[in-house]
Copies of this chain bind each other. A is one copy, B any other.
Amino acid sequence: MFRHVVMFRWSEDGVSDETKTAIAAGLDKLAGLPMTLGYHHGPDAGVSDGNWDYVAVGDFATVEDYKAYAVEPGHVALITDLIKPNISARAAVQYDVG
């Protein structure tokens, strides 16, 4: 299995609850893409100091499925229209889960 992990820090200007809800709804749609085996995302639970704000973990059968997901038009639009304008930092790793 091939896993994509991405974390965000929200913009320091603040992000409205409405926008956060729209981003979560957009991420929920990615869970339904045909190349996605599993997709779980959510805000930091607040149990540790210094954490980032949000994480998404997507599981794919192959690296090729991940690459197809990365360029899927709905995914790209979500990043361009809603995520990028509302974050101050992004951290990502893709890795073989085995």
Query: Given A7-B7, A97-B42, do A92 and B47 touch, yes or no (CB 8 Å)?
Result: no
Considering the complex, give the chain B residue whose CB is closest to the CB of A66.
Answer: B47
Residues of B within 8 A of A92 (CB): 48, 50-52
Contact bitstring A47-76, B, C-beta under 8 A = 1, else 0: 110111111010000010011001000000
Using A5-B5, A92-B52 as known contacts, say yes or no to A97 and B40 having CB atoms under 8 A apart. yes
Report the contact-size class of chain A (Cβ under 8 Å from the partner): 20 to 34
Would you call A88 an interface residue if the criterion is a C-beta within 8 Å of the partner chain's C-beta atoms? no
Copies per assembly? 2
Main SS at interface, chain A:
strand
Minimum CB–CB distance from A48 to chain B (whole Å) comes to 6
Is the CB–CB distance between A96 and B42 below 8 Å? Answer: yes
Q: How far is the CB of A3 from chain B (nearest CB, A)?
A: 7
Residues of A in contact with B (beta carbons under 8 Å apart):
2-3, 5, 7, 40-45, 47-48, 50-55, 57, 63, 66-67, 70, 91-98
